[in-house]
Amino acid sequence: MRFLVDAQPPPALAQYLRDHGHEAEHVHDIGPHNVSDRELWRLALDRDAVIVTKDEDFSLMLGMRGEAPAIVWVRIGNTRSAALLSWFGPLLEHIVELVDSGQKLIELR
């Protein structure tokens, strides 16, 4: 599966996804650090990628647009990268299953 990681999650999350057999890029890897939500949305559609974000705006955008990428909305507070990866890791297989089944919004709390 291919993932685009938004600016709020650390680049280590993209690396974690790559280390676990997925294609993943952090927004900092693909261009200016100020990529807009719309630009990231379009990139995800063009690349058939899932957006991983902590930004509520993407969940709101799902209701306003026709074609939409899958969104993984990470809803935990600020935490160190290691703690985030420890929390996210056990959920990865289920996230992939949900995306494969057609879910457009996967909210992680």
Q: What is the DSSP string of the chain?
A: -EEEE-SSS-HHHHHHHHHTT-EEEEGGGSS-TT--HHHHHHHHHHHT-EEEES-HHHHHHHTT-SS---EEEE---S--HHHHHHHHGGGHHHHHHHHHTT-SEEEE-
Per-residue pLDDT of the chain in tens (109 residues, 90 and over written 9): 999 999 999 999 999 999 999 999 999 988 766 788 999 999 999 999 999 999 999 999 998 868 999 999 999 988 999 999 999 999 999 999 999 999 999 999 9
Dihedral angle sign, alpha carbons of residues 105, 93, 4, 7: positive
In contact, 72 and 14? CB cutoff 8 Å: no
CATH 3.40.50, applies to 2-108: yes
